[in-house]
Structure formats: structure tokens, C-alpha cells
Amino acid sequence: MIQGISGAAGVAIGKAFVLPSWEWDLPDQKMDVVDLAKEFERLYEGIRTSRNEIEIIKQEFNEVVGPEESSIFDAHLAILEDPVFMSEIQGIIERQYKAAEVAVKEAIDHFVTMFDLLDDEYMKERALDIKDVGNRLLKHLLGAPEITLPSDTQPYILVAKELSPSQLAHLNPNYVLGIVTLIGGKTSHSAIMARALGIPMVSGLENSVNLPVQTGDTLIINGDEGTVYVNPSEKMMEKYTRIRNQQLRKKEQLQVLAEVDAVTKDGTLMNLAANISSTKELEMALRHGAKGVGLFRTEFLYMDRATFPTIEEQYEVYRHVVERAGGQSVVIRTLDIGGDKQLDYFPLAEEDNPFLGYRAIRISLDLKDLFKVQLTAILRASVHGKVKIMYPMISSIDEIREANQVLHEAMGDLDRQGINYDKDIQIGIMIEVPAAVVMADLLAAEVDFFSIGTNDLVQYVLAVDRMNEQIAHLYHPFHPSILRMLKMTADAAHTAGIDISVCGELAGDERAVPIWIELGIHNLSMSPQSLLRVKHRLLNTNAEEAKEVAKSCISMSRSQDIEAKLEEFIEENTER
């Protein structure tokens, strides 16, 4: 057994195909000064060709998994336009009289080495993006062919030293059983994309592998535990074949629950909605039985383009989602850029702490004309179904009132134009910063509903960047402080008589079901892939028993004890 890092869940069994690594043998010869212009022309042509290829790959991948994951290629496009990276290449050509491909190779090596020296796993993995873009550029400068994968006739497990997003985007998920990489971790772009495609993946084997894996070797990879078995015994094959078949059967069995109500054994009904960022994700959510949309991440309408979307463009997307929801509620969150979400055509100043900086509602209130365009489009779509508006990252009453003022201006404009909209449209806020929790009772008087964004809330409360591998072990959604904050928020909402839901990742964690039942939070919104699993858990849960377990957890002082208690509850109910 080889121990690695879990990149994407699931078990895969099959023959290995080892992807050759790019190896460039470039002559380090000087050029004549008269050839400099020709080298720059070759460089710029290679950049143009590479950019066009990346745009095509991004569009193709967007059609498969949606804009959130395909936006990874925005980082690749940004590298091709990065003035520091390009200046390094141009400087080598101009000052050292080296060929364009040699300059590109030296620039890649320089930046990759620099990133590798940083004591930050996230930055180490971003070095792979530079290598990916640089290798694409080198390929065009050298006229080298693409490395070809096996024909789509025989499923295989792909093995590589490292796997770039560009390479992964070309894979056919129907034939790639699993992925193994020597380099990379949970935050690598390839791991994110593998999860989106539903391909089991194990990474980070570089320091664990003694003998190289050969093409044709039989592999078992366990993406749940981050383990790989090379040419396993017959007994091990039988064991993991059973596990894999159980996983496949469970998926099939869960799909039967799509049309079943999410109700506990003793009659507590829960509403399970979906988090979406595209119409494609909405279709998946509806197939899995989603009761409406609890979070429509509208920022992805802004990302896959070169300019801000118009009122008409946004209206058409919102209208389609609202109509497809078939009368179920659709909660549309206003633009939430900044932090880790950037727009190529709207550069934000570099910040030491972008997650604490210029983002979300702060940008909207600073650029009110842009904000009003979005609110106008949402209002127009509200006549087609049940629409709610939600403001992100609210930390004060003033922000709500200022946002509502822009909303009322948009309503006034529509009134003057004689355009209909829902005049009683509900307004809510994300509860995702500690300040909002502490003053939840005051904020509740200003809005119609709360939605708890647990991802950012946990990050802010615990001061833990969950993308930082060095401290990721400190990111505990079931930390006692988080449970107390959830209770404070729920109590404030119930006292004020407003609706409350959860739309962060914790909503899709089946272990948290007893917590929601005890807190009286009956509206959960999650990724489409989590809907059936959480519904299955609810169908096998007794609400009164769950409340007792949750009360016990809320009184505990250690995350580990809370998680153990909730996992024990699941095991007990699964055995019955």
C-alpha cells in the first residue's frame, strides 16, 4: 500500500496508463542581434496561439462541469498576460540573445523554483499552473506534438508525476477510472476538477513511492483514504471490488429518492434546495430532487466574459433559472467577487488580506450603478416565479439600508418604464462574518430571511484559511464556537419570526443533520451531489433522538468529541 493524499473521493480499479512528463532538451546558443525581432515575433505568435487554445479548452470544460470549475483556466490566461512573467521572458531574449523557447524554459524554471521554495502548499501547487502554461507555449515554439492518451476503447487509471488542468480537461471521464499523481494536494486545480468530474483521485505520492508504476500495472486507488495498491493480491482485489460495487449500488439506490420528500421517520419535514452557479448545475439539481435554489452564485455570470453583463443578459439567465424551478423559491445572491474570485476585465488592487478586504457587498455599494444593473435584472425576473434577493458579507445595518436604497431606485426606474416586478420581493442576507452573528437580533429586524454561509463563517471565526494546507487541520466546522454561533443566529431568526437556512458546505454534511433539527433550521441548500445523501440520512433519522444528540454536542468543549458523537449517531441509525 502507498499512502498519499485524498484528492477526490471514490474507489477505482483498473490498468495504469503512465503519462510521460514533458522533457525539453534545448540548445543554449546565442543569436545574432538582427534576429531579435524575429524571436519576439515567434514569442507573440506562440502567446496568441496558446491563448486561443486555452479559451477553447475553457469553453469545452464549462459545458461539462459549469463556469465555477472552468474558471480555473482564467488563471492560465492571466499568466500569459502577467507583466512580470512576460518581462522575464523578454528580458532573457533581449539581454542574453537567447531563442524564444530557451527564454520561456528559463523563465518557467525561475518562477517554479521560486514558488517551490515558499513554505506554502497553495503556492507550490500554483507553480504547476505556470508549468502548464509555459509548456503549452513551448510546444508551439518547438512545433512539438501533443502527448496522446489511450484511445477511448479501454478504461484506465491515469498516472502522472503531475497533471495540469489542461491535460485533465482533455480527458474523457467515461474512460478515466481514476487518477494518481506524485505531486499535488487537495487544493490543486487538478484535484478540484477531478472532484467536479466525479473521478477518484489520489495525490502527493512523491515521497512514498519506492518503485515506479508501469503502464499496464493493475491499480486500486482509494480516493476516500488517499491510498494506492500496485498489482494487489487477489484477496485485496475482491475486497475493493466489493467496496466499489457497493458505492455504485448506493448511487443507484439514492437516485430512487429524488422524488421522495425529505422527512424524518417521526414526521419532521426538511426543505433541501441546491447551490448553483450555472443552468447546467440547476438541471443536475432538479434530477436529484432539489426543492428550488437556495443559493444562485451570480458572480459566475460575470467571470466567463470580457465585460460586465448587461441587464438584458442577466435577466435572461435569471428568468430561465426561475422558470425551470417551477414555482419553487430561487434565492439570487448579488455579486460576490473579491477574495479568491477575480474578474479579468475589472482588476482589483493587490491586498495583503483579500478575504478581509474589498469584496462582495463592499464592491456593490462602492459601484452602485453596477449594483443597480444587477438588481434591475433580478427584479424583472421576479415576475416569472418566486424570487428572493440576498446580499453577501453583511456586517452592519447601514450596509442593508444602503443596499435597499439602490434596490428602491431600481424599482422606481421600472415603475416609470411600466415594467412589472414583484413589489413584495423578499430581501435576505448571508450570515458569514462574526459581526453578523453577534448582532443577528438587530439585523433580523431589517430583512425577511437569513442564510448562514458556513464556509466563510468557520474561516473567519477560527482565523483559519482552509486553502492553506499547513493549517487546514485547524478548520473544524463542528468547533464548539461554531455551534454556539449557529444557535445564536437561529435563535435570533426565530425570535424575529423570519426564515433561516444554511447554504454553506456544512448543509451538505450528513453528520450535521441533528444540529439543524435541534436548531429548528429546516431549510438547507447544498451542492447537487449532496442532495440525495442528506435526504437518505433524514429518512433514516428520528428527529427526537437527533435533538438529544445535538443538545449533547452543543454542550461539548472539543471538536473531536462533537464529531465522534455525530458519527456514532449515524452508525447507530445506519445499522437499524
Q: Are residues 332 and 184 in the same domain?
A: no
Confirm whether 7 is domain-assigned: no
Which range, of 69-73, 350-354, 369-373, 399-403, averages the lowest pLDDT? 69-73
Q: Are residues 431 and 320 in the same domain?
A: yes
For the segment 67-90, what is each residue's pLDDT rounded down to a tens digit?
Answer: 656 667 777 888 888 888 888 899
- The strand pairing partners of 11, in sequence order, are 222
Same domain, 390 and 530: yes
Lowest mean pLDDT among 1-15, 17-31, 496-510: 17-31
Contact by Cβ (8 Å): 18, 213: yes
Tell me which of 238, 253, 268 is where a domain ends. 253
Residue 149 lies in a domain: no
pLDDT over 70 percentage in the chain: 86
Q: pLDDT at position 576, please? A: 45
Q: What is the band of 59 on the pLDDT scale with cuts at 50, 70, 90?
A: confident
Please say if the pLDDT value at position 184 is more than 80. no
pLDDT at 31: 77
pLDDT at 277 over 90: no
DSSP class per residue in 521-533: --EEEE-GGGHHH
Same domain, 421 and 301: yes
Q: In terms of domains, do 274 and 413 share one?
A: yes
Residue 519's domain is classified under what CATH number? Answer: 3.20.20.60
Do 240 and 178 sit in the same domain of this protein?
A: yes
Examine residue 284 and state whether it is found in any structural domain, yes or no: yes
pTM (predicted TM-score): 0.71
> What proportion of the chain, given as a percentage, has pLDDT over 90?
50
- Identify whether 217 is part of a domain: yes
Q: Residue 21 has what pLDDT?
A: 63
Mark whether 553 is an active-site residue.
no
pLDDT digits (tens, 9 = 90+) for 538-561: 999 999 999 999 999 999 999 999
- Classify each residue of 2-28 as buried b or exposed e, where b means 16 or more C-beta atoms within 10 Å of its C-beta: bebbbbbbbbbbbebbbbeebeeebee
Write down which residue in 253, 283, 311 finishes a domain: 253
Within a 13 Å sphere around the CA of 204, how many CA atoms are in the beta-carbon half?
Answer: 20
Is the pLDDT higher at 439 or at 252? 439
**CATH code for the domain of 176:** 3.50.30.10
Are 217 and 277 found together in one domain? no
pLDDT score for 355 = 76
Residue 503 is a catalytic residue: yes
Residues 378 and 239 in one domain: no
Residues 89 and 162 in one domain: no
Question: What is the residue range of 119's domain?
Answer: 21-142
Q: Does 3 reside within a domain?
A: no
Is residue 15 in some structural domain? no
Please report the pLDDT score of residue 193 as a whole number.
66
CA pair distance 52, 36, nearest whole angstrom: 25
Task: Check 189, 288, 384, 536 and give the catalytic one.
Answer: 189
In the set 76, 140, 479, 503, the catalytic residue is 503
Tell me the pairing of strands 329-333 and 386-391: parallel
Give the chain's domain count.
Answer: 3
SS3 content of the chain, % helix, strand, coil (to 5): 55, 15, 30
8 Å CB contact between 399 and 371: no
Using pLDDT thresholds of 50, 70 and 90, give the confidence band for residue 396: very high
- Residue 487 in contact with residue 565, Cβ under 8 Å? no
* pLDDT averaged over every residue in the chain: 87
> Could you tell me the CATH number of the domain that includes residue 61?
1.10.274.10
Residue 30: DSSP 8-state = B
* The domain boundary residue, chosen from 87, 107, 142: 142
Residue 179 and residue 105 share a domain:
no
Q: 447 and 427 share a domain?
A: yes
Residue 121 pLDDT level (bands cut at 50, 70, 90): low
CB 254 within 8 A of CB 293: no
pLDDT above 90 (res 247): no
Residue 208 domain-assigned (yes or no): yes
Same domain, 484 and 446: yes
